[in-house]
Structure 1
Amino acid sequence: IGTTKKGIGPTYSSKATRNGLRVSDLVGDFHKFSEKYKHLVEHYTHMFPDLKVDVMGEIEKYKHLRERIRPMVRETVSYMHTQITENKRILVECAQSTILDIDFGLYPFVTSSNCSVGGVCTGLGIPPHVVGDVFGVIKAYLTRVGAGGFPTELKDDKGKLLQERGAEYGVTTGRPRRCGWLDLAMLKYSNMVNGFTGLAVTKLDILDVFEEIKVGVAYILDGQKLNTFPASDDDVQRVEVEYVTLPGWKVSTETARKFSDLPPNAQQYIRTIESHIGVPVKWVGVGKDRDSIIPCS
Structure 2
Amino acid sequence: MSNVTIVGTQWGDEGKGKIVDWLSEKADLVVRFQGGNNAGHTIQIKDKIYKLSLLPSGIVRKKISVIGNGVVLDPWALKEEIASVKKKGIKVDPKILYIAENTTLVLPFYKDIDSLNESLRGKNIIGTTKRGIGPAYEDKVGRRCIRLCDLKNKKKLRIKVQSLVEYHNPRFKYHNKKLLSTKDIYNSLVKISNFINQYSYPVWKLINESMKKNKKILFEGAQGSLLDIDFGTHPFVTSSNTLSGQIYSGTGLGNSSNYVLGITKAYTTRVGSGPFPTELKNSIGEFLGKQGNEFGTVTNRKRRCGWFDAVLVNQTKILNGLNSLAITKLDVLDKLENIKICSGYRINKKIINYFPADEHSQSLIKPIYISLPGWKSSTVGIKRWDKLPAKAKKYLKTIEKLTNCKITVISTSPERNGTILLESPF
Where do 5+ consecutive residues of structure 1 fail to align? none
Q: From 180, 189, 213, give the equivalent of 2:339.
A: 213
Q: Report the CA distance between 1:4 and its aligned residue.
A: 0.7
Q: Report the CA distance between 1:222 and its aligned residue.
A: 2.6
Supply the AA of the counterpart residue of 1:164.
K
- 2:35 paired residue number: none
Distance in 1 separating the partners of 2:194 and 2:143 = 25
Three-state SS of the structure 2 residue aligned to 1:91 is: strand
Distance in 2 separating the partners of 1:113 and 1:68 = 26
Contact 1:101 1:110 in 2 (8 A): yes
Say whether 1:248 aligns with 2:341. no
Q: From 399, 410, 413, give the equivalent of 1:287.
A: 413
Q: Report the CA distance between 1:139 and its aligned residue.
A: 0.5
- 1:2 paired residue number: 127
* Greater gyration radius: 1
Higher RCO by CA contacts (8 Å cutoff, separation 6 or greater): 2
Say whether 1:71 aligns with 2:195. no
Contact 2:148 2:197 in 1 (8 A): no
Q: Percent identity?
A: 37
Distance in 1 separating the partners of 2:231 and 2:193 = 35
Q: Report the CA distance between 1:52 and its aligned residue.
A: 3.5
Contact 1:148 1:233 in 2 (8 A): no
Distance in 1 separating the partners of 2:185 and 2:229 = 31
Q: Where do 4+ consecutive residues of structure 1 move more than 6 Å?
A: none
Deviations 1:220-268 (A, max 9, x none): 2232221321112221221111111010011111131211111111111
- 1:180 paired residue number: 306
The size of the alignment, in residue pairs, is: 295
Which region of structure 1 is more displaced relative to structure 2, 37-46 or 137-146?
Answer: 37-46
Distance in 2 separating the partners of 1:16 and 1:58 = 20
Distance in 1 separating the partners of 2:408 and 2:245 = 22
Where do 5+ consecutive residues of structure 2 fail to align? 1-125
Supply the AA of the counterpart residue of 1:31.
K
- 2:147 paired residue number: 22
Contact 2:172 2:179 in 1 (8 A): no
Three-state SS of the structure 2 residue aligned to 1:42 is: helix
Three-state SS of the structure 1 residue aligned to 2:259 is: coil
- 2:219 paired residue number: 92
- 1:117 paired residue number: 244
1:26-175 matched pairs, under 5 angstroms: 26=151, 28-49=152-173, 50-127=177-254, 129-175=255-301
Supply the AA of the counterpart residue of 2:155.
H
Distance in 1 separating the partners of 2:300 and 2:397 = 33
* Aligned CA-pair RMSD: 1.3
The structure carrying a bigger strand percent of its residues is 2
Q: Report the CA distance between 1:54 and its aligned residue.
A: 4.3
- 1:225 paired residue number: 351
Distance in 2 separating the partners of 1:235 and 1:164 = 31
- TM-score normalized with structure 2 length: 0.67
Deviations 1:184-207 (A, max 9, x none): 000010011011111100000000
